């Protein structure tokens, strides 16, 4: 059974069960990847997956059921299961199947061709050679990976919405392991977009540099320091705490920004933007996971918190219009809320300028254990970190074995300078990613020696 036939079967069973308001959400993904160890292909993987979710509104409650198995029995089963689930719900949030009438942005689709398996293999083998060529301290365990992913998404509902989108991305990464004879150090670099544009030597060089730079690290004395957060680290922090901007979290009493719309929550140089159509994004979203149109908006403007991110249900509850941020974490998930390209706007100055301004302090380039050490409910974080000393306004010796701690909102308030080097998390290929320039913050608590 193909998707069209499955869809017809679902419509038939929905009608037979007198369901008037329903939606069918479909995703399909094809991924091919190759992994190199020493000088040989270690693994080659090719996966095809699909998932379908049916949801329907009965007595003001939305029931969900999903499947990966397109058969006539499953078509009937997801309709019946969704009905049963809807009857068990007690949510006080209003329920919606989106109506026709939105105007969607148009984006130019690049013609994307998927590289042949042999091209991926050749690329990864060459990349692996480049990593070993960078430094004689590179040891086995070092890996190069090349992959491509293409995905499709479609939303069809009983109000006549029938939308589809597709995206594809090629990516590669180099994981370099170096040894100084006693300890091992690792470094990573990733590139995504079109393989033809990837510079193997540059990627290998960055991965090895990332590892080698940390050799000989030491800890620092515990205390309060002036800190420059690298763009990558600041984007990671923003990502962990992005849920506080969700209207759903706020309405459920799970956001520390509850009732703070219109208040100053950050330093006046901070402007935070959510852009579904960001120019360099690998995937652009003209509609959200409920079929509502998307648009670009500032969430924080010169320090002032302007709006939560909404979907149809939270917007109705708050008496506003949806911001087009309805989101399903996977095809089977209930509709929640997520951002798109979500970034702190660049201001001015290079990373070196920030070091000069810091004078003496710590440049944080890595943080670990975000899922455990950063609590989105309280805003508190205490994270294992690494980076470099900043001495006399310049980047100096490597630092590791320290933790940084504080509260996310305090950081946002205490940002004293923002650089111009905006960078998005390179490990996120979809439309939902965070970005930031490097930032300078004073008085960060560091635990070390």
Helices 117-134 and 200-212: angle between axes, nearest 10 degrees:
40
Options 115, 398, 406, 437; binder of another protein; rule CB under 8 A: 406
Query: Per-residue b/e over 62-101, b at no fewer than 16 CB within 10 Å?
Result: bbbbbbeebeeebbbbbbebbbebbeeeeeebebbbbeee
User: Stretches 69-77, 346-354, 411-419, 423-431: which one binds another protein (CB under 8 A)?
Assistant: 69-77
Q: Which residues pair with 177 in a beta bridge?
A: 186
Please say whether the dihedral angle defined by the alpha carbons of residues 231, 234, 240 and 244, taken in this order, is positive or negative.
Answer: negative
Q: Is 256 in the site for another protein (CB under 8 A)?
A: yes
User: Stretches 149-157, 338-346, 389-397, 404-412: which one binds another protein (CB under 8 A)?
Assistant: 404-412
Query: Which 172-211 residues touch another protein, going by CB under 8 A?
Result: 177, 183-186
Nearer to another protein, 34 or 418 (CB): 34
Nearer to another protein, 201 or 262 (CB): 262
Query: Which 331-350 residues touch another protein, going by CB under 8 A?
Result: 332-334
Q: Is 47 in the site for another protein (CB under 8 A)?
A: yes
Query: Which 359-388 residues touch another protein, going by CB under 8 A?
Result: 368-369, 371-373, 375, 377-378, 380, 382-384
Nearer to another protein, 143 or 151 (CB): 143
Options 5, 140, 263, 352; binder of another protein; rule CB under 8 A: 140
CA distance 10 to 73: 10
Q: Is 218 in the site for another protein (CB under 8 A)?
A: no
430 three-class SS = coil
Residues counted in the chain: 449
CA distance 212 to 205: 10
Taking residues 262 to 301 in sequence order and writing x for each that binds another protein by CB under 8 A, - otherwise, the string is ----------------------------------------
Q: What are 46's two structure tokens?
A: 């090719």
Comparing CA positions, the residue from 306, 278, 280, 307 lying closest to residue 294 is: 278
Task: Quickly count: other Cβ atoms within 10 Å of residue 258's Cβ.
Answer: 15
Taking residues 411 to 430 in sequence order and writing x for each that binds another protein by CB under 8 A, - otherwise, the string is --------------------
């Amino acid at each position: 059974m193909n998707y069209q036939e499955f869809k017809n079967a679902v419509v038939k069973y929905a009608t037979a069960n007198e369901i008037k308001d329903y939606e069918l959400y479909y995703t399909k993904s094809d991924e091919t990847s190759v992994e190199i160890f020493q000088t040989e292909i270690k693994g080659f993987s090719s996966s095809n997956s699909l998932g379908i979710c049916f949801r329907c509104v009965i007595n003001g409650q939305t029931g969900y059921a999903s499947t990966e198995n397109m058969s006539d029995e499953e078509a009937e089963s997801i309709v019946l299961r969704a009905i049963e689930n809807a009857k068990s719900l007690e949510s006080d949030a209003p329920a919606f199947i989106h109506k026709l009438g939105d105007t969607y942005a148009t984006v130019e689709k690049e013609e994307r061709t998927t590289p042949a398996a042999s091209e991926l293999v050749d690329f990864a083998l060459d990349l692996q050679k480049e990593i070993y060529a960078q430094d004689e301290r590179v040891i086995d365990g070092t890996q190069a990976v090349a992959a491509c992913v293409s995905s499709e998404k479609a939303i069809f509902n009983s109000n006549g919405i029938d939308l589809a989108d597709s995206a594809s991305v090629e990516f590669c990464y180099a994981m370099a392991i170096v040894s100084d004879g006693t300890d091992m150090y690792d470094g990573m670099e990733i590139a995504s977009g079109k393989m033809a544009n990837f510079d193997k030597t540059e990627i290998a060089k960055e991965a090895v540099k990332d590892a080698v730079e940390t050799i000989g690290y030491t800890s620092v004395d515990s205390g309060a320091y002036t800190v420059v957060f690298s763009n990558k680290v600041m984007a990671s922090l923003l990502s962990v705490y992005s849920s506080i901007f969700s209207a759903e979290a706020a309405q459920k009493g799970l956001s520390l920004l509850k009732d703070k719309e219109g208040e100053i929550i950050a330093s006046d140089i901070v402007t935070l933007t959510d852009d579904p159509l960001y120019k360099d994004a690998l995937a652009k979203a003209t509609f959200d996971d409920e079929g509502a149109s998307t648009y670009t908006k500032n969430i924080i403007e010169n320090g002032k918190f302007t709006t939560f991110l909404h979907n149809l249900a939270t917007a109705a509850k708050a008496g506003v219009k949806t911001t087009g941020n309805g989101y399903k974490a996977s095809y089977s998930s209930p509709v929640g809320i997520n951002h798109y390209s979500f970034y702190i706007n660049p201001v001015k100055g290079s990373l070196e300028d920030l070091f000069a301004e810091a004078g003496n302090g710590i440049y944080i380039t890595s943080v670990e254990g975000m899922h455990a050490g950063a609590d989105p409910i309280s805003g508190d974080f205490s994270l294992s970190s690494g980076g470099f000393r900043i001495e006399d306004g310049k980047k100096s010796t490597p630092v590791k074995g320290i933790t940084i701690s504080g509260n996310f909102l305090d950081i946002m308030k205490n940002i004293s300078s923002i650089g111009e080097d905006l960078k998005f998390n390179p490990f996120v290929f979809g439309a939902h990613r965070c970005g930031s320039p490097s930032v300078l913050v004073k008085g960060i608590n560091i635990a070390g020696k």
